[in-house]
Structure 1
Amino acid sequence: MSKLIKQEKFEVAPDGLRNWQGRKEWFFNRDDTDHYEDYYEGPYKFQEVWQKKTLEELIKQDHRVKTLLEFGCGTTRFTRWWHEIGLEATGGDISPFMLAQGVQLFDGDLVMADSHHMPFKDHSFDALAFVTTFEYYKNPIQVIQEAVRVGKYGIIFGMMNRNTPKLLRRKVQQVFGRNNYYVTAHFYTPASLEALVAKALPDRKYKIEWNATGLPKWFPKKQWKIPYGDFFGFHVQLLDV
């Protein structure tokens, strides 16, 4: 399958870094993006296994979903994996640095665009996916509305959970400049994301399923329906189509 990169215009900040949403973002900084894959191959490897397991169990509940667009696909870490579980996936991202890696790692189609204005016709895909990227949108309601316009049957979210003991560590790292990845992130819980979806889709009929993971290695359970853990999967399945 061919690769497609659609160029968009961005404002350039005075320090030379790309500026989006009126602020600096780590995914326009090569000092951060060049190490993204290393992070998943290193300390995050164990968590990734359970994140994928959680997302697969949720998306497979809707047998209508055969094609999927992942926005904020980055280096295509998860976009490649959707194919492994039998879904035809396309990736979209706004970062040229992340997509430059993605085109070397992924055989499918990629698009460079803003998630607030997806360059696709209505119902181009069966579903939309956001994996640890939805946290960076300043207008999340608009993004959700765009997602259900383009994704016919709903949205699958993979989210960094606010309800985690690591939240304090994240905050401390930010203060001391030790972790650029979370500086502009807004962390959600299953309850706060559900409330946001209700605001974005007041006239739609849907059901929501979620599951939390990212629990300590020593903990006897790796998934549960309690809203605590580093990560949660969240599936909005549209019922009125």
Structure 2
Amino acid sequence: MSDKLQKKKFELATKKLEQWQDREEWFFNREHTEVYEDYYEGRYKRAEIWQKKVLAKLIQKDERVETLLEYGCGTTRFTRWWQEIGIEATGADISPFMLGEGNKHFDGDLVWADSHHMPFKDNTFDALAFIATFAYYDDPIKVIREAVRVGKYGMIFGIMNRNSTKVMRRRVQEVFGANPYYETANFYTPNKLIDTIHEALEGRLYEIEWTATGLPKWFPVQRWGLPIGDFFGLHVKLTDVEENR
């Protein structure tokens, strides 16, 4: 192989690492990944508490779920929390920088992999989780189909609500170059995510339940079944699965 060709292959490989899906992504930048944990320890701490309450209530309704794979696990902020509520968790992410940070905090298994091509056998886990990551996928239909192939009993999503003041504010910040995190994100409303799931799981039998949170501190309730709030959790429970345990 000529030196010129080797150089070209190296340049292409480097570009792929920095520009997953041909886009510049913040999670391939150490400037952002090394301080990711700080956000949850600071101004987003209250939001995290309520997000976890919503997710726990949804996933624990399916008593079949004992193991879980979280894709886009990042620094394992939620991955290690699944363990706290009694679910054995594994983390996966496309960003080696995120996984490097996650390895500092999490003693479980971590996998470097693309969610569009999950390197696991069918039914390896009881469920799949996508927390604060599903908005970044180029082909969400393919990702969902991979998720139900690998996760026997279903999926759980935690995602920013597209129709929220927080998302609108950050879109304005992007215009002024102040917020790189959501530039390539495609956020969902509950109905939009449900429509995407219906398309991906045509022919399957399942139940869907979701709850919104991320409401103002002064609001009389902090979680409800209306599509209002900065964040919602959504659980897909597959009901056409044969039990063989």
TM-score interval, smaller chain: over 0.9
1:26-45 matches, within 5 Å, as: 26-45=26-45
CA distance in 2, matches of 1:37, 1:205: 38
Tell me the equivalent position of 2:120: 120
Tell me the equivalent position of 2:14: 12
CA distance in 2, matches of 1:230, 1:139: 24
Percent identity reads 67
Tell me the equivalent position of 1:97: 97
Partner amino acid for 2:59? I
Q: CA RMSD, aligned part only? A: 1.1
1:152-163 matches, within 5 Å, as: 152-163=152-163
CA distance in 1, matches of 2:113, 2:104: 18
Tell me the equivalent position of 1:174: 174
Assess if the C-alpha contact under 8 Å between 1:154 and 1:238 holds in 2: yes
CA distance in 1, matches of 2:13, 2:49: 37
SS of residue matched to 2:226: coil
Assess if the C-alpha contact under 8 Å between 1:159 and 1:232 holds in 2: yes
Tell me the equivalent position of 1:3: none
Deviations 1:109-129 (A, max 9, x none): 000000000110000000000
Higher helix share goes to which structure?
2
- The Cα shift of 1:34 comes to 1.2
CA distance in 2, matches of 1:30, 1:72: 16
Tell me the equivalent position of 1:24: 24
Partner amino acid for 2:217? K
- The Cα shift of 1:219 comes to 0.9
- The Cα shift of 1:31 comes to 1.2
- The Cα shift of 1:12 comes to 2.3
Partner amino acid for 2:221? K
1:185 aligns with 2:195: no
Tell me the equivalent position of 1:4: none
Tell me the equivalent position of 1:75: 75
CA distance in 2, matches of 1:33, 1:177: 18
SS of residue matched to 1:232: strand
How many pairs does the alignment contain? 230
Tell me the equivalent position of 1:7: none
SS of residue matched to 1:159: strand
Tell me the equivalent position of 2:212: 212
Tell me the equivalent position of 2:48: 48
Unaligned runs of 5+ in 2: 1-11
Assess if the C-alpha contact under 8 Å between 2:127 and 2:153 holds in 1: yes
CA distance in 1, matches of 2:47, 2:87: 22
CA distance in 1, matches of 2:158, 2:168: 21
Assess if the C-alpha contact under 8 Å between 2:136 and 2:186 holds in 1: yes
Assess if the C-alpha contact under 8 Å between 2:33 and 2:101 holds in 1: no
SS of residue matched to 1:236: strand
Deviations 1:90-118 (A, max 9, x none): 00001011100111100100000000001
- The Cα shift of 1:168 comes to 2.1
Partner amino acid for 2:34? D
Q: TM-score, normalised by structure 1?
A: 0.93
SS of residue matched to 1:89: strand
CA distance in 2, matches of 1:181, 1:17: 17
CA distance in 2, matches of 1:142, 1:168: 28
Assess if the C-alpha contact under 8 Å between 1:11 and 1:20 holds in 2: no
1:237 aligns with 2:217: no
- The Cα shift of 1:17 comes to 6.7
Tell me the equivalent position of 1:57: 57
CA distance in 1, matches of 2:52, 2:26: 24
SS of residue matched to 1:125: coil
Moved >3 Å (runs of 4+)? none
